[in-house]
Chain A
Amino acid sequence: MKNIDHLISLYLDDELSLGQKCHFVEKVHHDVKFYNNAVEFLQQEKMLHTVLRQKAPLDKPVNVLQSKITRMSGWVMAAVLILALSFIGGTYVQKTQQIASLNQESDIYRRFVIQQKETDQVEIVGSFTHWEKIPLVRSGKEGYWEVTLKLPSGEHRYSFVINGNQYRPDPTVLDREMDDFGFSNSILQI
């Protein structure tokens, strides 16, 4: 029988044609081995995504020119480079500024994590949620809860809410301040 396991990768990568989608769904329903394979690959893919996403996203713009200059061996090299660039006509600078401006206006995804064992509910409230509670989801078996939110650049204040009424600042963020209600909020600068 023809091996069609590659359909699983096409499924994972959103590359299935309509006909292949029909074939895939039928196989998943009627072929236990194929189903088990698909589940294993899905779990592996989740792990792969987690590993690749562990690194912080591109959230801080880098001035390409500045970073190159500072790496040169001295002021003379920097001066020569600046002089040379000024002759080029500024096209490169202009494009760099355009890319940098895109970074500045883009929102940033931020993952919030807290460990709370033997807890039924963890939420987050903050300036970026307009102080509305947003639930975190349980992650793994070690009592971790997490949520990823899209935040605009700037300064934000927030707190975790345990079981609906216990306010707790983010233990991984040192900057905190008391609000008017006596709760301690974490301060996050993006």
Chain B
Amino acid sequence: MPGQYKHFYLNYKDKLFSYLLYKCGDRELALEVTQESFVRHLKSYNHNDQITPSLLFTIARNALVDVYRSRGKFKIVESPERSTGVNEEDRFIVREESSLMYEAMKKLDETDRELLVLAVNGVPYREIGNTLNLSAVNVKVRIHRARTQLRKFLVESE
């Protein structure tokens, strides 16, 4: 495997995992879809191509939709997995503000929430636009609108 892809993988594995986890709320599923998405992405990778994350995120979104279809149900964002015992410190710290943030995030329009999670995970606007089929201007406007709405929801919940 070329070093270029290794660098890409190390840069994006946690971002993709975090994005998928937020979308499906299931750690095991997010982990599995992350792995599977990289496998599919690597299969389509041509050494001469420039690697872009938009294809990876598109593959991941489609893989998640496939899983949802096969299971016959849609699972939306759930509360944080603080009680799963993944990390000892997750049980150690219980933050009220986290649940407020989750509640506020749930109130966002689904696409806006997706845009925001991608942006927070450091995915460039151009790649977000490619992944979600939105123009660069649209991405820019909607991400800020999502942040503004989030702030409004957080203020309302206080």
Contacts and interface: CB of A to CB of B under 8 A. Distances in A.
A67 B32 contact: yes
Task: Give the size category of A's interface with B.
Answer: 35 or more
Q: Which of B98, B102, B141 neighbours the largest number of chain A CB atoms within 10 Å of its CB?
A: B98
Given A55-B86, A99-B35, A48 B120 contact: yes
A87 to B, nearest CB: 17
Interface string B8-42: 01100110011001100001000110111011001
A184 interface: no
Contacts of A61: 35
Contacts of A132: none
Contacts of B143: 9, 13
Contact of B80 (A13, A41, A55): A55
Contacts of B102: 51
Given A40-B151, A45-B120, A58-B13, A15 B140 contact: yes
B120 A172 contact: no
A47 interface: yes
Contact of A58 (B31, B151, B154): B31
A54 B80 contact: yes
A52 B1 CA distance: 30
B88 interface: yes
Contact of B140 (A9, A62, A96): A9
B119 interface: yes
B104 to A, nearest CB: 9
A96 to B, nearest CB: 5
Contacts of B150: 44, 48
Task: Give the size category of B's interface with A.
Answer: 35 or more
A54 B82 contact: yes
Given A9-B147, A15-B140, A54 B90 contact: yes
A56 B144 contact: no
B58 interface: no
A189 to B, nearest CB: 12
Contacts of A113: 89, 92-93
Contacts of B97: 47, 51
Given A111-B87, A113-B92, A62 B31 contact: yes
Interface of B: 1, 6, 9-10, 13-14, 17-18, 21-22, 27, 31-32, 34-36, 38-39, 42-43, 80-82, 86-93, 95, 97-98, 101-102, 105, 116-117, 119-122, 124-125, 140-141, 143-144, 147-148, 150-151, 154
9 contacts: A9-B143, A13-B125, A15-B124, A44-B147, A47-B97, A54-B82, A62-B32, A102-B1, A172-B88
Interface of A: 5-6, 8-10, 12-15, 40-41, 44-45, 47-58, 60-62, 64, 67, 91-92, 95-96, 98-100, 102-103, 106, 111-113, 115, 144, 170, 172-173
